[in-house]
Amino acid sequence: MARTDERFREAFNALLDICTTMELGGQLAPELALSERLDVSRTVIRSSLERLKAEGIIAWEGGRNKTLLRRPLPMDRLAVQADQLSARELEHQFLDWVLRFDVAPGTALNVAELARQFRVTPHMLQEFLASLSRFGLVQRRNKGGWVLLGFTREFAVELSEFRLMLELNAVGHLVTLPDNHPIWAQLDDLEARHHKLAQEIDHRFHDFSLLDEAFHATIGSVVQNRFAAEFQKLIALIFHYHFQWDKTNERNRNFAAIGEHLQIIAALKARDRAATLQAAELHLRTSKLTLLESLRDHAIS
């Protein structure tokens, strides 16, 4: 599939997504605004609008008014490349990119370039960045595009305290689960992975971020809470991926965290609620202090 045709198909499907959020009779945004939002040329936008008109989805005579006539149907969508990442995979790719390349606050995010790198449509990346913008981690620039932001000390303290409440509740619930619950096999696997990484820490310390995320996600999975789930991207970005953290002591910090995780797992497997809560709180308090120390070192208010 030619790149231009691929861009057209991606833009057309993105416009379909926009149309599904509109009321019948509503007006699509101007071509320039759509071009900036989807990060494609106005030529691609015009071609996509022509297709929407031909399919009877909008009324458009080439002027400013682009009126929604009917809701898009699944059959209206155009096929695109099959090897694109899922939304979850995109999140992992983006967070790993932040970690591996130590992306600094204030970095401009080139949507077209990152979309190619992550093998997603520009619209999909735009939607992902918009989800992060709700937490103040990225911001849309006035003239289009996005910029990666930092966060304040107060922001970090509030998130740390909220995380503490969520995870203490989760481990307190987990320790009461019956022996036949699948969580115990998952903890056995996590325990083995922690020991292996500890043995290879000198050349694999970066890999702790993924293991850290898996550990905390597994702990949190025993409590289904729609409100807590909304904060998982944020918690992963800041804590599991060491966003803005000082990388100079990363190896030792990660090695110490592995030990704290293993203490929590041991207390859970012993069904010792008091020891579990104590180990979990120690780990989360340490994580908070490390983050705040990093913010202080980077002179972030």
Give residue 153's pLDDT band: very low, low, confident or very high (50, 70, 90): confident
- Quick one: pLDDT at residue 261? 97
Q: Which of 24-28, 67-71, 85-89, 295-299 has the lowest mean pLDDT?
A: 295-299
Going by C-alpha positions, the residue among 195, 201, 196 that lies closest to residue 254 is 201
Q: Which residue has the tokens 């500890």?
A: 198
pLDDT for 78 beyond 90: no
- 292-300 contacts, C-beta under 8 A, 24 or more apart: 292/153, 292/156, 292/157, 293/246, 294/244, 294/245, 294/246, 295/153, 295/156, 295/244, 296/153, 297/246, 298/244, 298/246, 300/150, 300/151, 300/152, 300/153, 300/244
- Quick one: pLDDT at residue 101? 67
Going by C-alpha positions, the residue among 47, 300, 5 that lies closest to residue 153 is 300
Higher-confidence residue of 210 and 187: namely 187
Higher-confidence residue of 101 and 263: namely 263
pLDDT for 171 beyond 50: yes
- Quick one: pLDDT at residue 1? 39
Angstrom distance (rounded) from CA 141 to CA 232: 25
- Quick one: pLDDT at residue 200? 94
Per-residue pLDDT tens over the stretch 45-66: 999 999 999 899 999 987 788 9
Taking the model in full, what pTM does it have?
A: 0.61
Angstrom distance (rounded) from CA 7 to CA 264: 48
pLDDT for 299 beyond 70: no
pLDDT for 259 beyond 90: yes
Higher-confidence residue of 272 and 132: namely 272
pLDDT for 222 beyond 50: yes
pLDDT for 40 beyond 70: yes
Backbone angles phi, psi at 145, to 5 degrees: 85, 180
Q: Which residue has the tokens 């009321």?
A: 23
- Quick one: pLDDT at residue 4? 56
Angstrom distance (rounded) from CA 50 to CA 38: 16
Average pLDDT over residues 159-168: 91
35: left (phi over 0), alpha (psi -120 to 50) or beta: alpha
